Amino acid sequence: MKKNILAFCLSILAASAFAQSGTNSPYSQYGLGVLTDQGNSYNRGMNGVGLGLRESNQINYINPASYSSIDSLTFVFDVGMSLQITNFKEGNVKKNAKNADFEYAVGGFRIMPKVGLAFGIIPFTNIGYNYQSTGSINREDISGTTTYTNTYSGEGGLHEAFIGLGWQPVKGVSLGVNGGYLWGNCTRTVANAYSDSYVNTLSKTLSFDVTSYKANFGVQLSRNLSAKDLLTLGATYSIGHKLNADPTLNIVSTNSQTGVTDTIQFVANNGVELPHEIAVGLAYTHNNSFTVAFDYQLQQWSKVHYPKYNDTGNGQPTFNSVSGMFSDRQKFNLGMEFCKDKAGSNFASRVCYRLGASYTTPYLKINGLEGPKEYSVSGGFGLPILNQWNKRSILNISAQWVRSSAKNMIKENTFRINIGLTFNDRWFAKWKFD
Protein backbone atom coordinates (compact mmCIF):
# COMPACT_ATOMS: atom_id res chain seq x y z
CA MET A 1 0.00 0.00 0.00
CA LYS A 2 2.80 2.41 0.89
CA LYS A 3 4.47 1.70 -2.46
CA ASN A 4 1.29 2.57 -4.31
CA ILE A 5 0.86 5.83 -2.40
CA LEU A 6 4.45 6.72 -3.25
CA ALA A 7 3.87 5.84 -6.91
CA PHE A 8 0.84 8.09 -7.06
CA CYS A 9 2.67 11.01 -5.45
CA LEU A 10 5.51 10.61 -7.94
CA SER A 11 2.99 10.62 -10.78
CA ILE A 12 1.52 13.86 -9.47
CA LEU A 13 4.96 15.44 -9.37
CA ALA A 14 5.76 14.19 -12.85
CA ALA A 15 2.56 15.57 -14.28
CA SER A 16 3.29 18.95 -12.72
CA ALA A 17 6.99 19.15 -13.47
CA PHE A 18 7.28 17.58 -16.92
CA ALA A 19 4.06 18.51 -18.67
CA GLN A 20 4.73 20.07 -22.05
CA SER A 21 2.50 22.02 -24.32
CA GLY A 22 -0.10 19.70 -25.74
CA THR A 23 -0.57 21.67 -28.96
CA ASN A 24 1.17 23.35 -31.89
CA SER A 25 -2.04 24.90 -33.12
CA PRO A 26 -1.96 28.52 -34.35
CA TYR A 27 -5.55 28.74 -33.05
CA SER A 28 -4.13 28.62 -29.53
CA GLN A 29 -3.09 32.27 -29.97
CA TYR A 30 -6.68 33.29 -29.25
CA GLY A 31 -8.66 33.36 -26.01
CA LEU A 32 -7.47 31.00 -23.29
CA GLY A 33 -5.96 28.69 -25.88
CA VAL A 34 -7.04 25.26 -27.10
CA LEU A 35 -9.46 23.64 -24.65
CA THR A 36 -8.26 20.17 -23.69
CA ASP A 37 -10.27 16.98 -23.88
CA GLN A 38 -11.83 16.22 -20.53
CA GLY A 39 -11.75 12.77 -19.00
CA ASN A 40 -9.11 10.12 -18.68
CA SER A 41 -8.09 7.52 -21.24
CA TYR A 42 -11.16 5.45 -20.34
CA ASN A 43 -13.49 8.28 -21.38
CA ARG A 44 -11.42 9.23 -24.41
CA GLY A 45 -11.81 5.78 -25.95
CA MET A 46 -15.50 6.79 -26.23
CA ASN A 47 -14.51 10.30 -27.38
CA GLY A 48 -15.06 11.95 -24.01
CA VAL A 49 -18.54 10.83 -22.89
CA GLY A 50 -18.92 10.43 -19.15
CA LEU A 51 -21.82 12.39 -17.64
CA GLY A 52 -23.96 9.28 -17.18
CA LEU A 53 -21.21 6.69 -16.65
CA ARG A 54 -20.73 4.95 -13.29
CA GLU A 55 -17.75 2.64 -12.92
CA SER A 56 -16.35 1.00 -9.81
CA ASN A 57 -12.78 0.78 -11.14
CA GLN A 58 -12.36 4.15 -12.95
CA ILE A 59 -12.11 7.80 -11.82
CA ASN A 60 -14.73 9.54 -13.96
CA TYR A 61 -14.03 13.16 -13.04
CA ILE A 62 -16.30 14.43 -15.84
CA ASN A 63 -19.15 14.00 -13.34
CA PRO A 64 -18.18 14.02 -9.64
CA ALA A 65 -21.45 12.29 -8.73
CA SER A 66 -19.89 9.11 -10.18
CA TYR A 67 -17.39 8.92 -7.29
CA SER A 68 -20.09 7.26 -5.15
CA SER A 69 -19.74 4.15 -7.37
CA ILE A 70 -16.04 3.56 -6.55
CA ASP A 71 -15.45 0.06 -5.19
CA SER A 72 -15.42 0.05 -1.39
CA LEU A 73 -12.43 -2.32 -1.23
CA THR A 74 -10.00 -0.53 -3.53
CA PHE A 75 -7.83 2.48 -4.07
CA VAL A 76 -7.83 3.54 -7.72
CA PHE A 77 -5.28 5.80 -9.36
CA ASP A 78 -4.77 6.61 -13.00
CA VAL A 79 -1.98 8.29 -14.95
CA GLY A 80 -2.07 9.16 -18.62
CA MET A 81 -0.17 10.65 -21.51
CA SER A 82 -0.86 11.48 -25.14
CA LEU A 83 1.14 11.53 -28.37
CA GLN A 84 -0.10 13.35 -31.43
CA ILE A 85 0.79 14.27 -35.00
CA THR A 86 -0.93 17.27 -36.57
CA ASN A 87 -1.07 18.24 -40.23
CA PHE A 88 -1.68 21.91 -41.01
CA LYS A 89 -2.91 23.02 -44.42
CA GLU A 90 -3.45 26.52 -45.77
CA GLY A 91 -3.88 26.77 -49.51
CA ASN A 92 -1.12 24.70 -51.06
CA VAL A 93 1.12 24.88 -47.99
CA LYS A 94 1.28 21.84 -45.68
CA LYS A 95 3.24 21.34 -42.48
CA ASN A 96 3.40 18.68 -39.75
CA ALA A 97 4.04 18.94 -36.03
CA LYS A 98 4.47 16.40 -33.22
CA ASN A 99 3.65 16.60 -29.52
CA ALA A 100 3.97 14.41 -26.45
CA ASP A 101 2.26 15.40 -23.23
CA PHE A 102 2.15 13.80 -19.77
CA GLU A 103 -1.40 14.84 -19.10
CA TYR A 104 -3.06 13.78 -15.86
CA ALA A 105 -2.79 11.89 -12.61
CA VAL A 106 -5.92 11.15 -10.57
CA GLY A 107 -6.82 8.90 -7.65
CA GLY A 108 -9.86 7.94 -5.61
CA PHE A 109 -11.31 5.63 -3.00
CA ARG A 110 -14.40 5.06 -0.87
CA ILE A 111 -14.15 6.97 2.44
CA MET A 112 -17.41 5.69 3.93
CA PRO A 113 -20.52 3.83 2.78
CA LYS A 114 -21.98 5.49 -0.30
CA VAL A 115 -19.35 8.28 -0.29
CA GLY A 116 -16.35 8.35 -2.63
CA LEU A 117 -13.43 10.78 -2.83
CA ALA A 118 -11.26 11.66 -5.83
CA PHE A 119 -8.33 14.01 -6.42
CA GLY A 120 -5.69 14.78 -9.01
CA ILE A 121 -4.11 17.11 -11.55
CA ILE A 122 -5.67 17.58 -15.00
CA PRO A 123 -5.13 19.94 -17.97
CA PHE A 124 -7.57 22.72 -18.89
CA THR A 125 -6.10 24.70 -21.81
CA ASN A 126 -2.95 24.57 -23.95
CA ILE A 127 -1.04 27.32 -25.77
CA GLY A 128 1.85 26.48 -28.07
CA TYR A 129 2.70 27.95 -31.49
CA ASN A 130 5.51 29.60 -33.39
CA TYR A 131 5.23 30.66 -37.02
CA GLN A 132 6.08 33.52 -39.40
CA SER A 133 4.44 35.40 -42.22
CA THR A 134 6.24 37.59 -44.76
CA GLY A 135 5.24 40.21 -47.28
CA SER A 136 6.21 43.47 -48.86
CA ILE A 137 5.10 47.07 -48.70
CA ASN A 138 5.62 49.94 -51.10
CA ARG A 139 7.00 53.15 -49.59
CA GLU A 140 6.57 56.54 -51.22
CA ASP A 141 9.66 58.02 -49.58
CA ILE A 142 12.05 55.51 -51.14
CA SER A 143 12.25 53.58 -54.37
CA GLY A 144 11.58 49.84 -54.36
CA THR A 145 9.81 47.82 -51.73
CA THR A 146 10.41 46.93 -48.10
CA THR A 147 9.83 43.38 -46.94
CA TYR A 148 8.51 42.58 -43.51
CA THR A 149 8.46 39.50 -41.30
CA ASN A 150 5.85 38.95 -38.61
CA THR A 151 6.73 36.35 -35.99
CA TYR A 152 3.91 34.91 -33.88
CA SER A 153 4.76 32.87 -30.79
CA GLY A 154 3.01 31.77 -27.63
CA GLU A 155 3.28 29.29 -24.81
CA GLY A 156 1.56 28.31 -21.59
CA GLY A 157 -1.85 27.06 -20.58
CA LEU A 158 -3.93 26.38 -17.51
CA HIS A 159 -3.96 23.36 -15.19
CA GLU A 160 -6.30 22.26 -12.43
CA ALA A 161 -5.62 20.47 -9.16
CA PHE A 162 -8.89 19.21 -7.72
CA ILE A 163 -10.48 17.22 -4.94
CA GLY A 164 -14.05 15.99 -5.10
CA LEU A 165 -16.74 14.02 -3.29
CA GLY A 166 -19.56 11.84 -4.58
CA TRP A 167 -22.46 10.83 -2.30
CA GLN A 168 -25.40 8.52 -2.84
CA PRO A 169 -28.03 9.65 -0.27
CA VAL A 170 -30.68 7.24 -1.58
CA LYS A 171 -30.65 4.41 -4.08
CA GLY A 172 -30.57 5.71 -7.62
CA VAL A 173 -29.56 9.26 -6.71
CA SER A 174 -25.95 10.50 -6.51
CA LEU A 175 -24.63 13.99 -5.92
CA GLY A 176 -21.10 15.28 -6.36
CA VAL A 177 -18.83 18.30 -6.26
CA ASN A 178 -15.30 19.07 -7.49
CA GLY A 179 -13.36 21.93 -5.97
CA GLY A 180 -10.24 22.88 -7.86
CA TYR A 181 -7.28 25.25 -7.89
CA LEU A 182 -6.70 26.67 -11.36
CA TRP A 183 -3.31 28.07 -12.24
CA GLY A 184 -1.06 28.80 -15.20
CA ASN A 185 0.49 31.43 -17.44
CA CYS A 186 -0.36 32.63 -20.92
CA THR A 187 2.19 34.54 -22.99
CA ARG A 188 1.74 35.65 -26.60
CA THR A 189 4.04 37.81 -28.74
CA VAL A 190 3.81 39.38 -32.20
CA ALA A 191 7.10 40.82 -33.50
CA ASN A 192 7.40 42.90 -36.69
CA ALA A 193 10.78 43.23 -38.43
CA TYR A 194 11.62 45.04 -41.68
CA SER A 195 14.33 44.76 -44.31
CA ASP A 196 14.73 48.56 -44.22
CA SER A 197 16.96 49.37 -41.26
CA TYR A 198 15.43 52.84 -41.06
CA VAL A 199 12.06 51.38 -40.05
CA ASN A 200 11.54 50.70 -36.35
CA THR A 201 10.77 47.15 -35.27
CA LEU A 202 7.64 46.64 -33.21
CA SER A 203 6.63 43.90 -30.78
CA LYS A 204 3.45 43.34 -28.78
CA THR A 205 3.43 40.93 -25.84
CA LEU A 206 0.27 39.93 -23.99
CA SER A 207 0.75 37.96 -20.78
CA PHE A 208 -1.15 37.07 -17.65
CA ASP A 209 -0.92 34.69 -14.70
CA VAL A 210 -3.93 32.83 -13.37
CA THR A 211 -4.41 31.76 -9.75
CA SER A 212 -8.04 31.07 -9.10
CA TYR A 213 -10.59 28.42 -8.21
CA LYS A 214 -12.77 26.15 -10.28
CA ALA A 215 -15.91 24.43 -9.07
CA ASN A 216 -18.42 22.12 -10.68
CA PHE A 217 -21.38 20.18 -9.35
CA GLY A 218 -22.87 16.95 -10.60
CA VAL A 219 -25.89 14.70 -10.25
CA GLN A 220 -26.71 11.21 -11.53
CA LEU A 221 -30.15 9.59 -11.50
CA SER A 222 -30.17 5.84 -12.16
CA ARG A 223 -33.13 3.57 -12.83
CA ASN A 224 -33.29 -0.16 -13.51
CA LEU A 225 -35.48 -0.76 -16.56
CA SER A 226 -35.18 -4.50 -15.94
CA ALA A 227 -32.90 -6.92 -14.15
CA LYS A 228 -30.29 -6.45 -16.88
CA ASP A 229 -30.94 -2.90 -18.10
CA LEU A 230 -29.82 0.30 -16.37
CA LEU A 231 -30.49 3.88 -17.48
CA THR A 232 -28.55 6.79 -15.95
CA LEU A 233 -29.17 10.50 -16.45
CA GLY A 234 -26.23 12.75 -15.56
CA ALA A 235 -25.83 16.51 -15.39
CA THR A 236 -23.14 18.97 -14.30
CA TYR A 237 -22.85 22.70 -13.76
CA SER A 238 -19.58 24.66 -13.61
CA ILE A 239 -19.42 28.16 -12.15
CA GLY A 240 -18.32 31.01 -14.40
CA HIS A 241 -16.26 33.73 -12.73
CA LYS A 242 -13.29 36.10 -13.00
CA LEU A 243 -9.88 34.43 -12.85
CA ASN A 244 -7.96 36.89 -10.68
CA ALA A 245 -5.67 37.73 -13.59
CA ASP A 246 -4.38 41.14 -14.72
CA PRO A 247 -3.53 40.88 -18.43
CA THR A 248 -0.60 43.11 -19.38
CA LEU A 249 0.13 44.33 -22.90
CA ASN A 250 3.64 45.64 -23.61
CA ILE A 251 4.22 47.42 -26.92
CA VAL A 252 7.90 47.95 -27.64
CA SER A 253 9.20 50.05 -30.54
CA THR A 254 12.93 49.68 -31.26
CA ASN A 255 15.03 52.02 -33.37
CA SER A 256 16.98 49.69 -35.64
CA GLN A 257 19.79 52.26 -36.00
CA THR A 258 20.39 53.16 -32.36
CA GLY A 259 18.83 50.24 -30.47
CA VAL A 260 16.82 52.68 -28.34
CA THR A 261 13.46 51.29 -27.25
CA ASP A 262 10.19 52.96 -26.41
CA THR A 263 7.74 50.93 -24.31
CA ILE A 264 4.04 51.46 -23.68
CA GLN A 265 2.29 49.27 -21.13
CA PHE A 266 -1.42 48.62 -20.68
CA VAL A 267 -3.12 46.64 -17.90
CA ALA A 268 -6.68 45.27 -17.83
CA ASN A 269 -7.32 44.61 -14.14
CA ASN A 270 -9.06 41.29 -13.45
CA GLY A 271 -9.78 41.09 -17.15
CA VAL A 272 -10.16 37.32 -17.80
CA GLU A 273 -13.15 35.09 -17.05
CA LEU A 274 -14.37 31.50 -17.19
CA PRO A 275 -17.77 30.78 -18.71
CA HIS A 276 -20.74 29.17 -17.03
CA GLU A 277 -21.05 25.60 -18.23
CA ILE A 278 -24.05 23.26 -18.30
CA ALA A 279 -23.90 19.65 -19.46
CA VAL A 280 -26.36 16.75 -19.58
CA GLY A 281 -25.88 13.14 -20.58
CA LEU A 282 -27.64 9.80 -20.79
CA ALA A 283 -26.11 6.33 -20.51
CA TYR A 284 -27.76 2.96 -21.10
CA THR A 285 -26.13 -0.28 -19.90
CA HIS A 286 -27.24 -3.83 -20.74
CA ASN A 287 -26.15 -6.81 -18.70
CA ASN A 288 -23.15 -4.87 -17.39
CA SER A 289 -21.44 -5.56 -20.70
CA PHE A 290 -22.74 -3.11 -23.32
CA THR A 291 -22.98 0.66 -22.75
CA VAL A 292 -24.03 3.45 -25.06
CA ALA A 293 -23.90 7.08 -23.89
CA PHE A 294 -24.64 10.56 -25.20
CA ASP A 295 -23.46 13.91 -23.76
CA TYR A 296 -24.31 17.52 -24.54
CA GLN A 297 -22.27 20.45 -23.23
CA LEU A 298 -22.86 24.21 -23.42
CA GLN A 299 -20.20 26.76 -22.44
CA GLN A 300 -21.40 30.38 -22.42
CA TRP A 301 -18.27 32.04 -23.80
CA SER A 302 -20.25 34.87 -25.40
CA LYS A 303 -20.79 36.42 -21.97
CA VAL A 304 -17.21 36.31 -20.66
CA HIS A 305 -14.83 39.27 -20.62
CA TYR A 306 -11.41 39.24 -22.27
CA PRO A 307 -8.86 42.04 -22.93
CA LYS A 308 -8.96 43.80 -26.29
CA TYR A 309 -6.52 46.33 -27.74
CA ASN A 310 -8.06 49.03 -29.88
CA ASP A 311 -5.90 51.42 -31.88
CA THR A 312 -8.25 54.35 -32.27
CA GLY A 313 -5.90 56.18 -34.68
CA ASN A 314 -5.93 59.37 -32.63
CA GLY A 315 -2.86 58.54 -30.59
CA GLN A 316 -4.90 57.29 -27.63
CA PRO A 317 -5.26 53.50 -27.95
CA THR A 318 -7.28 51.56 -25.40
CA PHE A 319 -6.87 48.17 -23.71
CA ASN A 320 -10.00 47.04 -21.92
CA SER A 321 -11.73 43.83 -20.92
CA VAL A 322 -14.88 43.47 -23.02
CA SER A 323 -17.54 40.84 -23.66
CA GLY A 324 -18.77 39.48 -26.98
CA MET A 325 -15.34 38.44 -28.27
CA PHE A 326 -16.25 34.73 -28.26
CA SER A 327 -19.18 32.49 -29.15
CA ASP A 328 -21.06 29.98 -27.04
CA ARG A 329 -19.46 26.56 -27.45
CA GLN A 330 -21.56 23.43 -27.87
CA LYS A 331 -20.27 19.87 -27.88
CA PHE A 332 -22.14 16.69 -28.80
CA ASN A 333 -20.56 13.35 -27.83
CA LEU A 334 -21.66 9.79 -28.60
CA GLY A 335 -19.78 6.78 -27.24
CA MET A 336 -20.15 3.05 -26.60
CA GLU A 337 -18.33 0.25 -24.85
CA PHE A 338 -18.52 -3.53 -24.99
CA CYS A 339 -16.98 -5.85 -22.41
CA LYS A 340 -17.98 -9.50 -22.60
CA ASP A 341 -17.35 -10.21 -18.93
CA LYS A 342 -15.60 -7.59 -16.75
CA ALA A 343 -15.27 -10.10 -13.90
CA GLY A 344 -14.22 -13.02 -16.09
CA SER A 345 -11.27 -15.26 -15.37
CA ASN A 346 -9.56 -15.06 -18.75
CA PHE A 347 -7.96 -12.20 -20.62
CA ALA A 348 -10.10 -12.21 -23.79
CA SER A 349 -13.43 -11.98 -21.96
CA ARG A 350 -12.29 -8.97 -19.93
CA VAL A 351 -11.03 -6.85 -22.82
CA CYS A 352 -13.22 -3.75 -23.33
CA TYR A 353 -13.81 -2.28 -26.80
CA ARG A 354 -14.74 1.40 -27.17
CA LEU A 355 -15.90 3.73 -29.94
CA GLY A 356 -16.92 7.37 -29.99
CA ALA A 357 -17.62 10.44 -32.10
CA SER A 358 -18.17 14.14 -31.42
CA TYR A 359 -18.99 17.48 -33.02
CA THR A 360 -17.99 20.79 -31.43
CA THR A 361 -18.89 24.34 -32.38
CA PRO A 362 -16.12 26.95 -31.90
CA TYR A 363 -15.83 29.39 -29.04
CA LEU A 364 -13.29 31.48 -30.96
CA LYS A 365 -13.98 34.45 -33.18
CA ILE A 366 -11.11 35.36 -35.50
CA ASN A 367 -11.26 38.83 -37.02
CA GLY A 368 -14.98 38.80 -36.36
CA LEU A 369 -15.49 35.47 -38.14
CA GLU A 370 -16.46 32.12 -36.66
CA GLY A 371 -13.46 29.99 -35.69
CA PRO A 372 -12.85 26.33 -36.56
CA LYS A 373 -15.48 23.67 -35.99
CA GLU A 374 -14.23 20.34 -34.72
CA TYR A 375 -15.13 16.81 -35.80
CA SER A 376 -13.59 13.77 -34.15
CA VAL A 377 -13.85 9.99 -33.91
CA SER A 378 -12.10 7.59 -31.57
CA GLY A 379 -11.63 3.93 -30.78
CA GLY A 380 -9.85 2.14 -28.00
CA PHE A 381 -9.31 -0.85 -25.76
CA GLY A 382 -9.29 -1.53 -22.07
CA LEU A 383 -6.74 -4.31 -21.54
CA PRO A 384 -6.80 -6.11 -18.18
CA ILE A 385 -3.53 -6.61 -16.33
CA LEU A 386 -3.55 -10.15 -14.95
CA ASN A 387 -0.80 -11.42 -12.68
CA GLN A 388 -0.38 -13.16 -9.35
CA TRP A 389 -0.46 -9.88 -7.43
CA ASN A 390 -3.20 -7.90 -9.17
CA LYS A 391 -6.11 -8.82 -11.42
CA ARG A 392 -7.97 -5.50 -11.26
CA SER A 393 -5.70 -3.00 -13.03
CA ILE A 394 -6.31 -1.84 -16.62
CA LEU A 395 -4.24 -0.48 -19.50
CA ASN A 396 -6.42 1.91 -21.53
CA ILE A 397 -5.28 2.70 -25.07
CA SER A 398 -7.22 4.80 -27.56
CA ALA A 399 -6.69 6.47 -30.93
CA GLN A 400 -8.44 9.67 -31.93
CA TRP A 401 -8.71 11.61 -35.17
CA VAL A 402 -9.66 15.28 -34.92
CA ARG A 403 -10.39 17.70 -37.76
CA SER A 404 -10.57 21.45 -37.10
CA SER A 405 -11.52 23.72 -39.97
CA ALA A 406 -13.16 27.03 -40.85
CA LYS A 407 -13.79 28.74 -44.17
CA ASN A 408 -10.67 30.43 -45.58
CA MET A 409 -8.63 29.45 -42.50
CA ILE A 410 -6.01 26.88 -41.59
CA LYS A 411 -7.23 23.28 -41.60
CA GLU A 412 -5.90 20.95 -38.92
CA ASN A 413 -5.96 17.16 -38.92
CA THR A 414 -4.69 15.55 -35.74
CA PHE A 415 -4.06 11.89 -35.00
CA ARG A 416 -3.72 11.32 -31.27
CA ILE A 417 -2.81 8.28 -29.16
CA ASN A 418 -3.95 8.31 -25.54
CA ILE A 419 -2.41 5.87 -23.07
CA GLY A 420 -3.55 5.50 -19.49
CA LEU A 421 -2.68 3.04 -16.76
CA THR A 422 -5.32 2.52 -14.12
CA PHE A 423 -4.00 0.88 -10.96
CA ASN A 424 -6.69 -0.76 -8.88
CA ASP A 425 -5.27 -1.93 -5.59
CA ARG A 426 -7.15 -3.92 -2.98
CA TRP A 427 -6.90 -1.91 0.23
CA PHE A 428 -9.68 -2.57 2.68
CA ALA A 429 -10.28 -6.31 2.53
CA LYS A 430 -9.90 -8.25 5.76
CA TRP A 431 -7.17 -10.87 5.55
CA LYS A 432 -7.51 -14.30 7.07
CA PHE A 433 -4.58 -16.34 8.31
CA ASP A 434 -4.55 -20.07 8.85
Query: What is the mean pLDDT of the segment spanning 407-432?
Result: 80
- The string of pLDDT tens digits covering residues 30-77 is 999 999 877 898 999 999 999 999 999 899 999 999 999 998 878 898
Q: How far apart are CA 255 and CA 257, in angstroms?
A: 5
Given a cut of 50, whether residue 169 has pLDDT beyond it is: yes
State residue 12's pLDDT score: 45
Q: How far apart are CA 23 and CA 124, in angstroms?
A: 12
Main-chain dihedrals φ then ψ at residue 244, nearest 5 degrees: 55, 45
314 confidence band (pLDDT: 50, 70, 90) = confident
138, with CB counted inside 10 A (0-12, 13-18, 19+), is: exposed
CA distances from 289 to 253, 344, 357 (A): 64, 11, 20
Query: What is the mean pLDDT of the segment spanning 135-141?
Result: 67
Average pLDDT, the chain: 88
CA distances from 61 to 48, 266, 336, 345, 406 (A): 11, 38, 18, 29, 31
Query: What is the mean pLDDT of the segment spanning 277-302?
Result: 97
State residue 144's pLDDT score: 61
Query: Looking at the DSSP assignment, which residues form a beta bridge with residue 187?
Result: 155, 207
State residue 199's pLDDT score: 77
Closest listed residue to residue 154, CA positions, set 95, 207, 83: 207
Burial 85-116 (b: 16+ CB within 10 A, else e): ebebeeeeeeeebebebbbbbbbbbbeeeebb
* DSSP string across 358-419: EEE----EETTEE--EEEEEEEEEEEEE--SS-SSEEEEEEEEEEEEE-TTS-EEEEEEEEE
| Domains in the chain: boundaries | 2-426
Given a cut of 80, whether residue 274 has pLDDT beyond it is: yes
205 confidence band (pLDDT: 50, 70, 90) = very high
State residue 137's pLDDT score: 72
Given a cut of 70, whether residue 141 has pLDDT beyond it is: no
State residue 427's pLDDT score: 60
252, with CB counted inside 10 A (0-12, 13-18, 19+), is: middle
Q: How far apart are CA 428 and CA 119, in angstroms?
A: 19
CA distances from 217 to 62, 138, 258, 278 (A): 10, 58, 58, 10
Fold designation for 2-426:
Porin (2.40.160)
- The string of pLDDT tens digits covering residues 256-269 is 777 778 899 999 99
- The string of pLDDT tens digits covering residues 151-167 is 999 999 999 999 999 99
Query: What is the mean pLDDT of the segment spanning 340-356?
Result: 89
State residue 19's pLDDT score: 43
Q: How far apart are CA 99 and CA 88, in angstroms?
A: 14
pTM: 0.89
